[in-house]
Every structure is written in C-alpha cells, then in structure tokens.
Amino acid sequence: MIRKPAVLTVTLNAAVDKTYRVEGFCLDRVFRVEAGRVVAGGKGINVARVLHTLGVPVVATGFLGGHNGAFILDSLQQEGIPGDFVWTQGESRVCLAIIDPVAGTQTELNEIGPVIHPEEVWALEQKLAQLLPQFAYVTLSGSAPPGVPADFHARVIRLGHKAGVKVVLDSSGDLLKHGVEAVPWMVKPNRAELAAIFGREPADVDEAAQMARQLLGKGIEVVVVTLGKQGAVWASAEGEWFASPPEVEFVSAVGSGDSMLAAMLYAVVQEMSPPDVLRWGVAAGAANAAVFGAGFCTKEQIEALVPKVVVRTKG
C-alpha cells in the first residue's frame, strides 16, 4: 500500500507532447527544425512530474492507448514516476507546440484524442475506486477525449468523498461545471474557466475574488483563481490573498498551471500557511515559464523564485 500523504494524478487525455523552437515561424512556409523536445504529456502527467521533482510520492493514472501510450508509460518509468493506467482501443494523442522566441508567440496543435468506449470508462472508475483509499490527494486535470461522460470528474469527486480523499479539480467546460457541483476540496480555474461557471469572465482581480467566494459558498474549501501574468487569487476559510509573479525570461507557458498546482500540493503536504502555499505555486508557475518543456523546472529554480513572489491580503 502507498503511504499517505501521497498524490494520485488522473489524466484522461494523456499525450505525446512535441515542442519545437522556430525563429520567425509563419504560415505557408517550410521550416527545417532541430530536434525538438518529445515527452510524456497531459496536464495530470505534468503535475505528476513536478510532484516527483519536489519529492512528493505520486502515481499517475488515466487512459493510455497504442504506440503513443506505450511511449508515454515508458517515458514515465524512465523519469521514475509510477503509472497505473487503463488501456484503450484507440491511440493516445499527439500535441504539438511551436515556440517562436523572436516574436514571443506560441502555436499549439492538440489532437482531440481517441474515442473512449463505455467499458473503458467503467474500467477506469473501478480502478479509481480501488486506488483512491491509498492516497491523501487526487488531482483531476485537463480535458477528456470523446466518449467520456461530462460528469466523469463529478463521479470521481464523489468516490473521493467516500474514500476520505481530498480532490483537486483543474479542468474546463462541462467537466468543470459538473465537478464543481460535486464539491471538490480545491478548484483551480482561470478566467475562461470561471466564465464556464458564471457565464462571464472576471473583469479584474476583485471580481475574481468575488467569484471565488461564491464557489466557497458551495462547500469547496479552497479556490485558487489563476490570472496569467497578473498572478493568482487564493480564497479559503482562512482568508483571501493575491500573489504577483516574479519576472523571468519567458520561454513557454505550457505546463505553468500544472507546475503551480503541483507546488501548491507540495506546500500543503509540508503544512505551510495559505499565503506560502500560494507563494510556492506562483513561483513554480514562473519557473516553468522560463524552461523548455512542461514541468521540467527544478526544485532549486522554484526555491530561487519563492522569495520574489509578492503576496498581499485581499480585502
């Protein structure tokens, strides 16, 4: 049995992530590129990578399929991250990111993912019912491939309640809307994801904090609203805080939200105060933005930025 406190990350739509740097990238041209970075990806897998880097026991689960799925599992094993996945008939997807460091742009082409059959959905639910009691925390991150019910995350949250596990929800669209109603322990929406819940994006930090308070009213214990380069808002029974990120030499934002979530869980496991949990999360998001590849920032890089994050009380 896995010892608590440990984290289970759920990735429904894992991917082979390919990232290329192309100076002067534009349409309707042929570019010869140097070998890019090809890694196991998907939001939950990114979270697992950073948790592992920070020394938090973690297991990755979700759906995998085909040759791409085998590559993902092999990559995780090489990184030292245990995986316990349900195998699907379809092929796990490929996601392509093209970074132009000159223009400061990032273009992403993300495959939708394989069609998941009802028996595969059932198999993952059964696996999660067995795994959840072994963990202190579970993260539900990212999108779902075709065939996964819109209330899947909500079902897992209810399983988490029965198992006494704290569930962190970091998703979008209907998965997020249904999941919020099932009352996870923590939810981490961005502006666009708040719009999926409230019908509009927050106009400013104050409105983001107001929306966070409304989510607390549903019984959710912790709400962290990410605002990109502006920073993030934390709301819980202990209070409300706003954090401004430090300046870094920007490379790519891919995986910054996942790195933030992982670092916050690390800080929670270390029993830090809410302001420090937020500070660690924002520092990790910034550290990730300064490296090539999602979730490949080091603990030392994060620690160096922690003192540079400005946290102030909201209200």
Neighbours of 230 (CB within 10 A): 15
Q: Name the burial class of residue 126, with classes exposed (0-12), middle (13-18) and buried (19+) by CB atoms within 10 angstroms of its CB.
A: exposed
Cis omega before residue 5 (within 30°)?
yes
Q: Cα–Cα distance between 72 and 43 in angstroms, integer?
A: 13
Q: Residues 168-204, buried b or exposed e (16+ Cβ, 10 A)?
A: bbbbbebbbbbbbebbbbbbbbbbebbebbeeeebee
Assess whether 258 carries a catalytic annotation.
Answer: yes
Long-range contacts of 278-282 (CB under 8 A, 24+ apart): 278/224, 278/232, 278/234, 278/241, 278/243, 278/309, 278/311, 279/243, 279/306, 279/309, 279/311, 280/306, 281/224, 281/232, 281/243, 282/231, 282/232, 282/243, 282/244, 282/245, 282/309
Catalytic residue (one of 17, 170, 258, 276): 258
Residues annotated catalytic, as ranges: 258
